[in-house]
């Protein structure tokens, strides 16, 4: 099991920031014959029966992009995203034989371009759903700038609100030799384990967050932490910043509020893990294929010793 490229870390779309504030130009892009719209309903994305992305033409949404999000240009093709809301009944505009799927279900199998565009769309749509009132004065907000700003409707306030991304550190802790520290939560599938992770707190560097989270969750002290890679994780709005950290202690003290258990695993053990939390069989299992946790574990496992 070799590490795959990070599922959501590729960004082949030109975000065309300079076009967002020009409504007339956005309307022209909306009428482009090849323009496409990525659809979301509830927490799911529109796909074909065999789980491939199924974007719709703008004509299926409406005459203008007023309530749609401009993601950017793929070459010369405009790409938008649109939210069909959270109603219990399937939207009436759903094409025949189409299927609504959670990105966590088919994300690992998408191309780099499709995966990146869908997490981009998902992150913005979920931000809009959660940002309905001005945090300064409490008034309602209106979508502007191609869906990348929400502006306060109160003329005396007029505050602009921008999409939020919450930084979270995720770290593979090693003993500097042949073992790594992995933990599990009680709600996970049997045998499921993962690297430790947590959100960055105000006034804290990424490296400080790594050390704090590892000590809080497992009672392990960190001697050093080295950045490896990052990946968007819009479930609902995080950026996972991946590190490899070397421990300066080895006695584990689990915080039961954070983890059910944690232990050191030798690299020979990890080679026997099942290929995913829901893979057939028994015993320990690697994290899901689209996770940076899996990438960190397998990158370490296959590194020359």
**pLDDT of 142-198, one tens digit each?**
999 999 999 999 999 999 999 999 999 999 999 998 999 999 999 999 999 999 999
Reported as half-sphere exposure (CB side, CA atoms, 13 A), residue 17 has a value of: 1
Question: CA-to-CA distance for 244 and 184, rounded, in angstroms?
Answer: 18
Token pair in block for residue 75 = 């070459």
What is the distance between the alpha carbons of residues 256 and 184, in angstroms, rounded to a whole number?
Answer: 11
pTM score: 0.92
Find the Cα–Cα–Cα–Cα dihedral 110, 113, 114, 118, rounded to 10°: 120
Name the residue with tokens 């409406």.
62
Q: Tokens 């003290």 map to which residue?
A: 253
Looking at residue 1, its pLDDT comes to 67
**Mean per-residue pLDDT for 282-295?**
94
Residue 238 pLDDT > 80: yes
Write out the H or E segment, with its range, that includes residue 247.
strand 238-247
Residue-wise pLDDT tens digits, 118-131: 999 999 999 999 99
């Amino acid at each position: 099991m070799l590490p795959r490229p990070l599922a959501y870390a590729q960004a082949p779309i030109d975000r065309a920031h300079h076009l967002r504030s020009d409504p007339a130009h956005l309307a022209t892009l909306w009428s482009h014959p090849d323009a496409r719209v990525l659809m979301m309903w509830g927490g799911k994305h529109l796909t074909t029966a065999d789980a491939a992305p199924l974007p719709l033409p703008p004509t299926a949404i409406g005459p203008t992009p007023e309530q749609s999000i401009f993601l950017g240009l793929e070459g010369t093709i405009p790409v938008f995203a649109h939210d069909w809301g959270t109603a219990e009944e399937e939207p009436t505009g759903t094409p025949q034989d189409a299927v609504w799927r959670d990105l966590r279900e088919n994300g690992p199998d998408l191309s780099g371009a499709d995966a990146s565009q869908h997490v981009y769309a998902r992150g913005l749509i979920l931000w809009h759903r959660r940002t309905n009132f001005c945090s300064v004065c409490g008034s309602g907000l209106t979508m502007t700038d191609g869906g990348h700003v929400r502006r306060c409707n109160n003329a005396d306030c007029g505050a602009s609100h921008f999409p939020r991304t919450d930084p979270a550190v995720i770290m593979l802790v090693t003993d500097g030799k042949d073992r790594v520290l992995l933990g599990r939560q009680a709600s996970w599938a049997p045998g499921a384990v993962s690297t430790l992770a947590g959100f960055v707190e105000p006034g804290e560097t990424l490296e400080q967050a790594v050390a704090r989270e590892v000590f809080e969750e497992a009672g392990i002290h960190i001697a050093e932490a080295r950045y490896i890679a990052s990946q968007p994780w819009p479930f609902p709005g995080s950026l996972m910043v991946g590190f490899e950290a070397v421990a300066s202690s080895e006695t584990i003290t689990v915080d039961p509020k954070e983890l059910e258990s944690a232990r050191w695993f030798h690299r020979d053990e990890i080679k026997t893990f099942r290929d995913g939390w829901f893979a057939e069989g028994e015993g320990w299992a690697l994290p899901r294929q689209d996770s940076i946790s899996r990438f960190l574990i397998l990158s370490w496992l296959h590194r020359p010793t």
